[in-house]
Structure 1
């Protein structure tokens, strides 16, 4: 029992700084591989939504493809078929349909 106590005390004494260094390293890894790319993608989507134009082909959050017919304050009128228009929230538009189709073709 005494030998086990001595070994555990010695291991615990030097572990203070190594634990701190390991926690900082884990946070840095999480920042560069998770948080930073998500923020970058969010900014790209925000810029895309600010640049929406009438006649642009888009994809909604529900996967509906259509063309923008009108842009109102916080909503967008999207024509999904000839004569069929739906009103969607501007925040539910996620992608340019033509760019997405080109990226899927590759």
Structure 2
């Protein structure tokens, strides 16, 4: 007897393949969502909170790094913009959200 003839005999006897339960169907998508939360969403929320805390603690005279890599000292702070002094007689107006870190924080992260 071949494998195909055994399958035909099984169907002829009325054997039906087992259907997974609703719980078994939902376990994989739920597990995937939980894994994605801990690997993607939660770290991103933590980083956003740290960045927001950095922006709220900025004050005139702090040295900061922008997303473009410019290092400067804060001369003035407005609602959405910060004026940086990047060198002698050089001032830049940068959006507050584009300030990424202070050099001290960046150096500490680089050491880790």
- TM-score bin (small chain): 0.7 to 0.9
Of 74, 88, 92, 1:86 maps to 92
1:61 aligns with 2:67: yes
Cα distance change of structure 1 residues 16 and 10 upon mapping to structure 2, 3 Å threshold:
farther
1:77 aligns with 2:83: yes
Residue by residue over 1:53-76, the C-alpha shift from the partner in whole angstroms, topping out at 9 and shown as x without a partner, is 111111111111111111112110
Of 49, 53, 56, 1:50 maps to 56
By how many angstroms is 1:16 displaced? 4.1
1:10 aligns with 2:34: no
Q: Aligned-residue CA RMSD in angstroms?
A: 2.3
Report the 3-state secondary structure (helix = DSSP H, G, I; strand = E; otherwise coil) of the residue aligned with 1:21. helix
The aligned residue for residue 25 of structure 2 is: 19
The CA distance in 2 between the partners of 1:32 and 1:105, in whole Å, is: 25
The CA distance in 2 between the partners of 1:91 and 1:83, in whole Å, is: 24
**Higher relative contact order structure (alpha carbons within 8 Å, sequence separation ≥ 6):** 1
| Larger-gyration structure (1/2) | 2
Segments of 5+ residues of structure 2 without an aligned counterpart are: none
> Number of paired residues?
103
Report the 3-state secondary structure (helix = DSSP H, G, I; strand = E; otherwise coil) of the residue aligned with 1:80. strand
By how many angstroms is 1:18 displaced? 2.1
